[in-house]
Amino acid sequence: MNSATLPPNSLFDDLVQQDRQYIWHPYSAVDSPAPLYPVERAEGARLHLSDGRVLIDGMSSWWAVIHGYNHPELNQALTEQVDQFAHVMFGGLTHKPAVRLAQWLVEHTPDGLAKVFFSDSGSVAVEVAIKMALQYWQSKSQTSKHQLLSLRRGYHGDTFSAMSVCDPTTGMHHLFNQVLKPQIFSQSPPCGFDQTWQEHYIDDFRQQIETHHETLAAVILEPIVQGAGGMNFYSPVFLKRVRELCDEYDCLLIADEIATGFGRTGELFACNHSGISPDIMCVGKALTGGYMTLAATLCSDKVATAICQGEASVLMHGPTFMANPLACSVALKSCQLLVESPWQARVANLAATMKQLLAPCASMNHVAEVRVLGGIGVVELKNPVELAKVQDKFVQAGIWVRPFGKLVYIMPPFVIEQADLIELCEQLVSVVAAIHD
């Protein structure tokens, strides 16, 4: 059947039906009855569905689309590169997009990060970070240092090493406990972002690192914002103390900035809230402005030098599509657009607007807490939402919001129009209010 000849609604239903026949979606069953919405095109902060409905985007496609969809300059960066070459292998060859992007990253990430390893996705960037940490200690002949200390409620990706450092409960470690490497976990930071610091907040972390440092290669955490593991915001002093304790107990610090990087928390990188530099840092998600899949793992000269002086003498990783030129070109343009834009003012405005307009949720009986940091607004409910039901309510309200568990949250593109932002927040509040009924 020629789907182009179908009236819009049939095309919509047809796609959904064929999708269900063939495709897995994230964390889903193939026989899932959960609603699906085909997108025909997207522009700015709006998604146009195949049946003609238009949704205001509250998700930035999972933190990534900071400049909005279908951005003329990002489109241009891609088409210019595709006219040169779409890809070449990165073994023995290099190209301008990779070199310029690596240079940008080293110049704009926290001081001391000096070398860049490109990979395909966030999870792989985390694998590479862990591999760097393990090879670092191997090359110093301290092979007993092979474990990781992570925070409860953390999320670091879906591959096996990444899973091993995700929250043991929400990361469903019991499903894979035969193969997951046992790691060490400290309590999730018990202090909100703005909360007055008290030294006992770091007690549990200190105790874990004190007890286990002889087997610890590194601490891995999401700085300031724990994302997919609970949308938890914590005090910059906590991160400062972590840095100090890593130095004291000779552990590397891996900052997973895959969600927090590129301005989302109000600083260009979340580590800047604490004025610290990690030894290893992962970026992804918004790196390409949400255009392509690309991630990077940065490390200090200290880490790089040690690895290269070790027994292996090389970093043992090399993805086929490493430093893909299309992805690097669009990433470089996205990074340049970001720092040339008034992103601080935009993120501050997102924060101020969400704080004001999401506030009515705080007094609802079924809401536990409302919190906002930078371009992230969270309404935490007392009970998990029924995703299938509530998803359709959001779509009927003209907004794209995808809750998980007890969390209804938004992180709109930085470029969202103020009227759309207001509509997004107001519709979110009315859908959340109706969840109760």
The answer to whether residue 234 is catalytic is: no
Catalytic residue among 27, 83, 194, 437: 27
- How far from 364 is each of 145, 199, 395, 429, 431, CA to CA, in Å? 48, 33, 22, 10, 12
Tell me: does residue 155 bind ligand PLP (CB under 6 A). yes
If we measure between CA atoms, which residue out of 286, 418, 338, 259 comes closest to residue 73?
338
Question: In whole angstroms, what is the distance from residue 241 CA to residue 374 CA?
Answer: 22
382 is catalytic: no
Q: Which of 57, 127, 167, 256 binds ligand PLP (CB under 6 A)?
A: 256
**Shortest Cβ 261–ligand PLP spacing (Å):** 9
No. of helices (H) and no. of strands (E), the chain: 13, 16
Q: Does 189 bind ligand PLP (CB under 6 A)?
A: no
| Count of residues that interact with ligand PLP, criterion CB under 6 A | 15
96 is catalytic: no
DSSP 370-384: EEEETTEEEEEESS-
For 316, other C-beta atoms within 10 Å of its C-beta total: 12
Which one of the spans 192-200, 221-229, 307-315, 349-357 is the region binding ligand PLP (CB under 6 A)?
221-229
Q: Which of 285, 333, 406, 409 is catalytic?
A: 285
Q: Report the residue closest to ligand PLP, judged by CB.
A: 122
Q: Say if CB 264 and CB 201 are below 8 A apart.
A: no
User: CA-CA distance, 276 to 286, in Å (whole number)?
Assistant: 21
Query: Counting every residue, how long is the chain?
Result: 437
What is the CB neighbour count within 10 angstroms for residue 19? 12
Tell me, yes or no, if 333 is annotated catalytic: no
- Is 239 within 8 Å of 224 (Cβ atoms)? yes
Task: Return the residues of window 63-122 that contact ligand PLP according to CB under 6 A.
Answer: 121-122
Q: Which is nearer to ligand PLP, 290 or 325 (CB)?
A: 290
Q: How far apart are CA 307 and CA 137, in angstroms?
A: 8
Our finding on whether 284 is near ligand PLP (CB under 6 A) is: yes
Show the binding pattern over residues 124-143: x = contacts ligand PLP (CB under 6 A), - = does not.
--x-----------------
Catalytic-labelled residue, pool 120, 167, 256, 279: 256
Q: Which residue, 64 or 361, has its beta carbon nearer to ligand PLP?
A: 64
Instruction: Point out the annotated binding site for substrate.
Output: 62, 155, 285, 318, 402
Instruction: Point out the annotated binding site.
Output: 62, 122-123, 155, 256, 285, 318-320, 402
Which residues would be at the binding site for ligand PLP (CB under 6 A)? 121-123, 126, 155-157, 222, 227-228, 256, 258-259, 284-285
